[in-house]
Amino acid sequence: MKILKSSEGFALFIAILVMAIIMLFVGASMLLSRVDTKITSNFKLETQALEVADAGLQHALAEIPKGYDFNLICGEENPPPCDLLSDISFPSAPGFSYTVTVESNSPELVLVSTANGPNDTKRQVQAYVNRSAVDFTSPGALYLPASSVDADFNKANNPGMFITGDDTSYTDSDSDGWADSTSAGPAQSAQGVAVINPGAKTDFLLGLEVSNFNLVQGAEYSESPSIVPSVSTTTDIFDVNQIAVNFYNNASTVKYLDGLKINCSSPCTLGTDASPQITYLREDGKDHIHLDGLVTGSGVLITEGRTHLYGDFEFHGIVVNVNIGTTGGETHPEGEDPDPLVLKENAKIFGTVLIGPTGGDQSITMKDDAKIYYSSDAIKEAEKLCPNCFPQPPGVFAWIDK
């Protein structure tokens, strides 16, 4: 056996110590690297979860219809808290899902969006929501939020009736109430006819018939390879009856509540472009509203009950038609056909036409040269008469990462 000299033993000790220190540093580096990788992975998951929670919030906002308050968001007999969206998977981030809960709906709506992901990842965002004060936008030249539609059109003699969702500006150079010329408006095209129910779309198309498909134009209208009319379902759902009631209760509204039947041989006006007005007409339960001859108007026109717009009638703004009984009056016998809106001869409307009740049965007849033009200019001027009368979308005014 060789006995190491003292210097040789010390050198060996130093070599072993150095190797141990190096191994310690290598092990610590590997450990720290694994920890850093795990921290990075967890941070990525946490970030993804926050984004998923925000996506859930945006989904919830899209699900809330336009309106005035949030009292019915959980249902009439189901006060908060309640789930608005439950365990929705998020395909862009596999393994993640979100649930959105209504914590409170009065005085403001409070939503909590919870995202769950891999490795027990969980993030929440809380949002305070109110109604956004934005310009009212109708989804179509004609809005039919019906469960079923009785649509009747003049199918003979090459009808001149026409509905277009292409934005149209009009010029009344001599201020006589009638448009002297038209041009393309500044807004994007809306639907010619917007419905909320596929069955109502089918009803409308059956009433229109294939030979007349070119008479309804606007967004998504196509002529090739075959004519596709601008008639489409929309997710933009709001209560047309409530709009009528809001205008009925407006202090500046001009009301005719015992029916109105006129045939004007000289111009009759229901507001002018320079001085638009809110006009509310309610049939008397015995005979329909009848505006015929030289009738012009501007602003907002609400008709409650059977309504016939004939002759050279022309209106600039928003026309709302609802069934009798919405604000009072003598209702029709149960089972009777829904109160029709009839546009005939040379009747023209620039703006939008909204028919109620939302989710009910509706009826419209258009014949001869009757026309409806979507006009953002006319809608904007009409809205100024009572901005709060129109439903507004939800919007977030405060957001907290819980």
Decide which of 233 and 336 is more confident.
233
Cα 106 to Cα 123: distance, rounded to the nearest angstrom = 25
Answer whether residue 156 shows pLDDT above 70. Answer: no
Give the dihedral of Cα atoms 305, 309, 315, 317; nearest 10 deg: 30
How much of the chain, in percent, has pLDDT values that exceed 90? Answer: 64
Residue range 326-354: average pLDDT?
A: 85
Query: Other CB atoms closer than 10 Å to residue 222's CB: what's the count?
Result: 12
Decide which of 291 and 36 is more confident.
291
Residue tagged 């809205």 (tokens): 383
**pLDDT at residue 23 in the model:** 76
**Of 366, 364, 347, 273, which Cα lies nearest the Cα of 316?**
273
**Residue 142 CB partners (closer than 8 Å, separation 6+):** 163, 192, 193, 194, 352, 353, 355, 364, 372
Residue range 174-187: average pLDDT?
A: 91
Q: How confident is the model at residue 230 (pLDDT cuts 50, 70, 90)?
A: very high
pLDDT tens digits for range 65-111: 888 888 878 876 778 899 999 999 988 888 999 999 999 988 789 99
Answer whether residue 35 shows pLDDT above 60. Answer: no
Cα 302 to Cα 278: distance, rounded to the nearest angstrom = 8
Q: How confident is the model at residue 326 (pLDDT cuts 50, 70, 90)?
A: very high
**pLDDT at residue 333 in the model:** 65
Judging by beta carbons within 10 Å of its beta carbon (0-12, 13-18, 19+), is residue 218 exposed, middle or buried? Answer: buried
Residue range 160-169: average pLDDT?
A: 94
Judging by beta carbons within 10 Å of its beta carbon (0-12, 13-18, 19+), is residue 86 exposed, middle or buried? Answer: exposed
Q: How confident is the model at residue 287 (pLDDT cuts 50, 70, 90)?
A: confident
Cα 144 to Cα 126: distance, rounded to the nearest angstrom = 35
- pTM for the full model? 0.82
Beta-strand pair 121-131/340-343: unpaired
Q: Across-strand partners of 399? A: 127
Q: How confident is the model at residue 38 (pLDDT cuts 50, 70, 90)?
A: low
Residue range 355-374: average pLDDT?
A: 93
Q: Which of the 8 DSSP states describes residue 82?
A: E
CA 378 to chain CA centroid, nearest Å: 19
Cα 379 to Cα 373: distance, rounded to the nearest angstrom = 11
What is the CB-side half-sphere exposure of residue 154 using CA atoms within 13 A? 18
Give kind and range of the element (H or E) at residue 61. Answer: helix 6-63
Answer whether residue 306 shows pLDDT above 70. Answer: yes
- The pLDDT mean for the chain works out to 88
Instruction: Tokens for 29, please give them.
Output: 């580096």
Answer whether residue 54 shows pLDDT above 90. Answer: yes
